[in-house]
Structure 1
């Protein structure tokens, strides 16, 4: 395994981060989670990503289930000091069961303080290493599409208030650092500007979707990542599993999210998804490499990427995904990948 030091921190994270969102859901059991953590650590991974609302799909019954599985594993293995844990506080939503007593989840002082205490309780740890804002409080189309539709409203928690809470949590020792997620260039620039103006710590990472099917991060945010030293934690590097090729020609393998989760991932069902995936699979076939490993390694090698988050529902998938770290993408492979991008530009933003 290879590692990247997050600038302005004492954190050295593995270039592959273990995603956890299916543990405790209809897809993965508690034991599956234990087995995945055991294997990931044996391969050198020291970075786990979870969230307040996991497992996915989010329900009242499974909220916090993933974190509780991680807690049991940490207690059993006594490896807390070896693992960097990234958690996420839920952005604005109508999921009132996440924080009982609240009509909406919001990124205000009261709710973030409640959320971190609940997360620390579920994880059974005294601090979170990177506490991420899962998505913004302001109205935003963060999970599909490139269009920005402005909504005039005063019902937005000021970014400064959210930042001040994060600063207080750092001071209290409940978190070491904080990061953004599903954020835009404008939003990220506000955090940077306000951090400088008010002498508040700035975010150290941004967790956004990034894959061969969605390279929109390269427009605007990649420059911010490099210049401001706020690296990308790339999630969904396989485009919801599509870049494996398993959904081609109308296939829907039993037990996959396309079967179990209904329309939750419509962002990956666009007119050009199938054609783009076929083209990328042809590139992989041309060079005799696995398409999933090619897709993951493409994310890993980007200069603006700090770590690439992988998820798996089977050990076979997990092993293949982790082994992508050893794949070499030649200049010819990169050239062919970029040629596909020119034809099918960001089909799943």
Structure 2
């Protein structure tokens, strides 16, 4: 499988990344381990997780389970060195971790040590802040974003404070690289400026939502990514399952995410289903699986670091892994662009 450099770190990650947020709730430990085995067998070397996982829903008695599933696999397999591992520090408002405290130099050591303990490893390759303290455009908040409560000086002081705390974790050998998630172009630019001015850990990646149905990243952040070597780690590239086509016509398969989260995090709209139909038609006309179309298209983007996908069965996993072998023709890509112009921002 193709490998991409993670920022300026020298770390190389597979073009597809195995997401893990269902392990410990929708998936058992054994199923999670089977997915890791299959993914590595097919060329993936990159696994993404977070201290708050599993989701659907996030609950006090389940947070941390996903990291434990991965840690048990490391302990059982002895194959830690074969994996580039990414995890995340939960932020302000996530009540089940540190009583919802915002990310700070005080929370970072506790969060890192907790993840290391659950993951049964001495280091995390990519340590990410799950969302900014000041708020985010992500998860449909772009429609009503209000920056009036922001304090620029306080935000910059927070960034410098946490970068210094991350440097201590690097010095200890606990983390190798630093990434952002659910960030903006302005925020990422400030993190970069401060890290370079102060000689502190430099942002290697941004993990934001990106798919055929969600292309907020295509403008300012795309340009920043390319020029500053900060690749996108795309989450929800299948738009929470919408792009598989399994929800078309009012269908709701047993055990699917929609049975647990009816709105799919605000993605379930009438316009979304019409947009999905357009992409399903493209796939059908060109003899492509719609899952592989969606993932392969993400991999063509010039700012892409890795495309994070999840599966709840090995069968789903095998289909997704097949996207690595799909080359989209110019005709397909032109039809995708036309569909996007006809169905922009459907949720």
TM-score > 0.5 by shorter chain: yes
The alignment of Structure 1 onto Structure 2 pairs a total of residues equal to: 342
Query: How much has 1:142 moved relative to structure 2?
Result: 2.2
Aligned counterpart, 2:9? 9
Query: How much has 1:153 moved relative to structure 2?
Result: 5.1
Unaligned runs of 5+ in 2: none
1:118 to 114, 117, 124: 114
Aligned counterpart, 2:148? 151
Query: How much has 1:198 moved relative to structure 2?
Result: 1.7
Matches within 5 A, 1:122-201: 122-147=118-143, 148-152=145-149, 158-201=158-201
Q: Give the Cα separation in 2 of the matches to 1:279 and 1:142.
A: 24
Whether 1:105 aligns to 2:101 is yes
Unaligned runs of 5+ in 1: none
Whether 1:223 aligns to 2:223 is yes
Q: Give the Cα separation in 1 of the matches to 2:5 and 2:220.
A: 23
Closer, same or farther in 2 for the Cα pair 1:36/1:42, shift >3 Å? same
Matches within 5 A, 1:1-349: 1-25=1-25, 27-56=26-55, 57-93=57-93, 95-99=94-98, 102=99, 104-147=100-143, 148-152=145-149, 158-263=158-263, 265-348=264-347
| Deviation beyond 4 Å, 4+ runs, structure 1 | 153-157
When structure 1 is superposed on structure 2, of 288-297 and 193-202 the one drifting more is 193-202
- Measured against aligned partners, the alpha-carbon deviations of 1:143-201 in whole angstroms (never above 9, x if no partner) come to 11424211325586722222221122111211001100010111111111111222212
Kept in 1, the 8 Å contact 2:138–2:209? The answer is no
Q: Give the Cα separation in 2 of the matches to 1:267 and 1:345.
A: 16
Kept in 2, the 8 Å contact 1:233–1:305? The answer is yes
- Measured against aligned partners, the alpha-carbon deviations of 1:85-126 in whole angstroms (never above 9, x if no partner) come to 000001211x33222xx3x23111111111001000000111
Q: Give the Cα separation in 1 of the matches to 2:300 and 2:137.
A: 28
Query: How much has 1:301 moved relative to structure 2?
Result: 1.4
TM-score (norm 1): 0.95
Q: RMSD over aligned Cα, in angstroms? A: 1.4
Kept in 2, the 8 Å contact 1:143–1:267? The answer is yes
Higher helix share: 2
Kept in 2, the 8 Å contact 1:238–1:295? The answer is yes
- Measured against aligned partners, the alpha-carbon deviations of 1:57-84 in whole angstroms (never above 9, x if no partner) come to 2111111000001011111111001111
Q: Give the Cα separation in 2 of the matches to 1:24 and 1:181.
A: 22
Q: Give the Cα separation in 2 of the matches to 1:211 and 1:199.
A: 34
TM-score (norm 2): 0.95
Q: Give the Cα separation in 2 of the matches to 1:336 and 1:291.
A: 14
Q: Give the Cα separation in 1 of the matches to 2:76 and 2:235.
A: 28
SS of match in other structure, 1:266 = coil
